[in-house]
Structure 1
Amino acid sequence: MSAPLSETLTQLRVGNQKFLIDFYQHSRHLFARWAQRKHRLSAPQAHELLQDTLLDFYDQVADGRITIMPTDLRAYLYGMAQLRLDAHVPAHQPLPAAEASRRQRLLAQFNQLGTDCQQVLTYFYFRGYHFEKMGAKMGFANATVARRQKSTCLRKLYELVRGGYEPITGPIE
């Protein structure tokens, strides 16, 4: 959790949830004590509440409702959890059907990309690798090649999403 707040927000927007996972692992016991004391929740119930609150926070960052990282994230998340409890929102509320369907289509289109493109996009967007590290992992000559490959793969995925591209099975050109 030592990354600058603006970088953390950017990482969350591109799908890298490492920050939230680390936050959960470091804060769940404190959160459980707060929830037990204030709301008489058991530890497993408090952990579920924290997970759901973190997912709500992630969704708000991803769709642009949160544009500035709160300076006191812990207090902000506790407030979100309090609002969730006050509103009696059920735990692990499923995604709306339209969003679940959109995510399934996107995953199916991602799976149509070749394994190299899948790996490049996974390294960049989900693991947060910078181009130098991604280039070394993939065996590219330098960071510029990695950047171009990422751009090419992202363009192919975009074309798949828009419906104008056939499935890709060969290596990256």
Structure 2
Amino acid sequence: MNQPLAEALTHLRMGNQTFLINFYQDHRDHFARWARRHHQLELASAHEALRAVLIDFYDQVIDGRLTKLPPDLRAYLYGMGREQIETVKTTAALPVVEASRRQHLLGVFGQMGNDCQQVLMYFYFRGYNFEKVAGKMGFANATVARLQKASCLRKLIELRGRAADGALPGAAAAPPAV
């Protein structure tokens, strides 16, 4: 069974997603039952969670973070699903002030350019180092990526300050920082 999995990894790296599609079709009902039993998740939410996990898994393979398939792929993907579900539940249970602050920051983040959004997402949410960010963004080296990240972070802070002052069109005043 190891050989087909190794072939699947090679196919995924070449962009062939048939393995993921087949995995989704074969396991979505079981994953939904598992998610309902262990996390009280509805059917549609469980299916969406599995799709998100498979996309994250694909990204790991393409980015080179995953160089060989785990011995028990289903357990690995279900573990990723558990982490994602718990993250969503934690975010949903935020206090109103924190949820409002995050929503405001997300709105300001959406006003930034695509390049800045990508750099910050790669660095803060994907955990990429500066060399990896440079490679993904097509920068000359890690120093350029570091400088770009710093510039984008300054822009985000500046936009947030302007939005709090009401200087941005359509921007509501920021909730008080807690």
Match of 2:56 in 1: 56
Match of 1:27 in 2: 27
Give a deviation string over 1:18-61, Cα, whole Å, max 9, x none: 00000000000000000001111111110000000000000000
- Post-superposition shift, 1:86? 2.1
- Equivalent-residue separation in structure 1 for 2:116 and 2:28 (angstroms): 28
Q: Which runs of 5+ in 1 are unaligned?
A: 91-95, 102-173
Distance 1:13 1:99, change over 3 A: farther
- TM-score scaled by structure 1? 0.50
Distance 1:17 1:2, change over 3 A: farther
- Equivalent-residue separation in structure 2 for 1:57 and 1:21 (angstroms): 12
- Post-superposition shift, 1:99? 10
Match of 2:46 in 1: 46
- Where relative contact order (Cα < 8 A, 6+ residues apart) is larger, the structure is 1
- Equivalent-residue separation in structure 2 for 1:12 and 1:32 (angstroms): 24
Q: Which runs of 5+ in 2 are unaligned?
A: 92-112, 119-178
Q: Is the aligned partner of 1:16 residue 2:16?
A: yes
Question: Percent of counterpart pairs with the same letter?
Answer: 53
Match of 2:129 in 1: none
- Equivalent-residue separation in structure 1 for 2:47 and 2:2 (angstroms): 23
Distance 1:88 1:18, change over 3 A: same
- TM-score scaled by structure 2? 0.49
The DSSP-based 3-state class of the residue aligned with 1:83 is helix
- Post-superposition shift, 1:6? 1.3
Distance 1:97 1:56, change over 3 A: farther
Match of 2:69 in 1: 69
AA in 2 matched with 1:58: Y
AA in 1 matched with 2:49: L
- Equivalent-residue separation in structure 2 for 1:78 and 1:64 (angstroms): 20
Tell me how many residue pairs correspond in the alignment: 97
Distance 1:2 1:43, change over 3 A: farther
- Post-superposition shift, 1:10? 0.7
AA in 1 matched with 2:65: R
The DSSP-based 3-state class of the residue aligned with 2:66 is coil
